[in-house]
Chain A
Amino acid sequence: MNNEIDKLITNVKSGNLNDFALLYQKMSKGVYALAFSILGDKPLAEDAIHETFIRVKLMANSYASGTNGTAWVLRITRNICLNVLKKRKFEVNFSTNEQSPGFESIDHISQKPEYAYDKKNEFENSIERFVLKEALNKLKDNERQIVLLYSVKGLKHHEIADLLNIPKATERWQYRSAIGKLKNLLKNY
């Protein structure tokens, strides 16, 4: 998978636009899984996919061929999503306080975007969506990102650890914890 994505991005870098389309086809599910796991909001996640692939195309020249293309694309997605959360925080701050924003906790927002979860009534219409909603609500942020990224079958554990910049063993641990919680949640399903 990784070699394939690396090759596709390298080809995009050389101007092969059909490979850009192929790259979208191969990566969009993973990008959506990550964006949704961070933002917890479908329209925002949709914007994040859009923005990710625009940036991938514009920034392809900066991609170091032979490295981990999957992680490169998903890192772009992650930055976009965290910026979205950060800008939301800015908006809130600026509307309540016109002075210097001071020392704000972006990490809090990126880890606990509860405000976004409140908007997900759209996921109550099917079992799968219900499951997804439950997963979002019950899992910790890293757990949610890890299990969704892993479930889309595009990423290996060590790639997820690299992407989230956490030790591989921690990633395994959090994955295991997420699976454990989901087993409990889905007992009656």
Chain B
Amino acid sequence: MKNKSEKEILDILSNAIEKDMPDVWDKIKNNQKSRLSDIECEMPTPIKPRRNLPIKRISSIAAAFVIIIAGIYISLFYGGGILKMFGNKPNMSLDSRFYIVEANNTLYYQDFTDGSKLYSMDMNGGNRKKLCDDYVVNLIADGEYIYYQNLNDQKQYRIRTDGTKRELLANVNGDVVIHDEFIYFTGNNGIYKINKNGQGLEKLSDVLANTLRFYNEKLYFSGIPTNNDSSNGGIYKMNLDGSNIQKISDQTTHDFKMSNNYIFFQIYGNKISHYIYRINIDGTGMKKLLDKELTTGTFDIKDNNIYFISSENSTPSLYKMDINGANITKLIDNFEATTINVIGNTVYCYHPSYGGRLFKVDTERKAKLEILTNYNKNNTDK
């Protein structure tokens, strides 16, 4: 049988959705919350030109709508019902990823209890302070600045660690590396370099890449197979000016970490494998470090140890092992995290349940402490 084209497959799916889609317009119109039943509001027929209502009429509808919405909001807000009505905070974080970095003994993080804005706190979780109102991701601490991407406008910013001097740097997206005066990032069609001041954009590579790392004065990145070039997948390295690009491994992965002259990764090729593998930085000596799969696909490396979540009898736990895959130790039983960040001697674990929970794990005492949570907020909504 001939394989279907991409377009044919998309059409099949689109048609299936189209045929299956329920029409709930009348339900919405008659819903008391919407208040549409009180006002004339017709579903336009497809491609029907919009009616030109007299300005007077539009104004009166607009005024009625504003008054109704304001009334609903005020009554619910003062009646304590706005959260019940919305279930949970509409903008709460339900993402599996969490961003936290350390600089000068202070943590800088994406505060999921307040719209993923940039906050700082001390190493114990105290003295929380908001630095800016941007929806921040991909935090990088560099000198006296925190670099981040603002999801509200998809641009790269930096701000001083005291929350002053917020600066727009460049229209940058993807994975980012900051080194010297340059920002290196994975764009939609290759890898780029730009000055921190947003000037001098330069394309370094045409390889579509996902993860970018700086190691031993070189850039390492994971190439992603594309529709046009499936051989694009693999792990690459190149000089900081984009010269001497070499594919060092054919193993496709989308995230990897580097430590002790090794690259650690999971395989995301034709066969997806959530085991941790290791290769030397020249691509040789591939080794599977662990016979158990990572439950949430996240791991972090610090001081010759790898921290990860794996499961026994369906019960996930936090483990550590050395970078050779030996000395596996269970740190916290019956525990799960979708992001693990090791900072100093502390493992910070984030889980998106209940709108987000951040734990600090003491690896010596094998104990966990919840330092930031939406749990109480969301549990009272129940």
Chain A interface (Cβ < 8 Å from any Cβ of B): 14-22, 24-25, 28-29, 32-33, 36, 42, 45-46, 49-50, 53-55, 57-61, 64, 67, 76, 78-80, 82-83, 86-87, 90, 101, 103-107, 110, 123, 126, 128-129, 131-132, 135, 147-148, 150-153, 158, 162, 165, 167-170, 172-173, 176, 179, 182-183, 186-189
A106 and B352: CB pair below 8 A?
yes
Q: Which of B117-125, B284-292, B330-338 contacts A (4 or more CB under 8 A)?
A: B330-338
Q: Across the interface, name the chain A residue whose C-beta is closest to B233.
A: A173
Interface residues on B, range: 35 or more
Chain A residues in 8 Å Cβ range of B51: 18
Would you give the shortest CB distance from B207 to chain A, in whole angstroms?
Answer: 10
Partner of B43, one of A24, A45, A64, A169: A24
B336 and A103: CB pair below 8 A?
yes
**Cβ proximity bits B313-349 to A, threshold 8 Å, 1 near / 0 not:** 0001000000000000000001110100000000000
Chain B residues in 8 Å Cβ range of A173: 210, 224-225, 254, 268
Distance of A111 Cα from B28 Cα, bound (Å): 29
Partner of A169, one of B24, B31, B73, B209: B209
Q: Is the interface of B mostly helix, strand, loop or mixed?
A: loop
The verdict on A79 contacting B186 (CB below 8 Å), with A15-B64, A105-B336 known, is no
Partner of A17, one of B4, B61, B91, B92: B61
Distance of A55 Cα from B87 Cα, bound (Å): 11
Distance of A22 Cα from B42 Cα, bound (Å): 9
Distance of A15 Cα from B59 Cα, bound (Å): 8
**Cβ proximity bits B241-279 to A, threshold 8 Å, 1 near / 0 not:** 000000000000010000000000000100000000000
B9 and A21: CB pair below 8 A?
no
The verdict on A55 contacting B46 (CB below 8 Å), with A169-B174, A172-B208, A183-B4 known, is no
The verdict on A15 contacting B65 (CB below 8 Å), with A152-B17, A169-B174, A173-B224 known, is yes
Chain A residues in 8 Å Cβ range of B40: 17
A153 and B13: CB pair below 8 A?
no
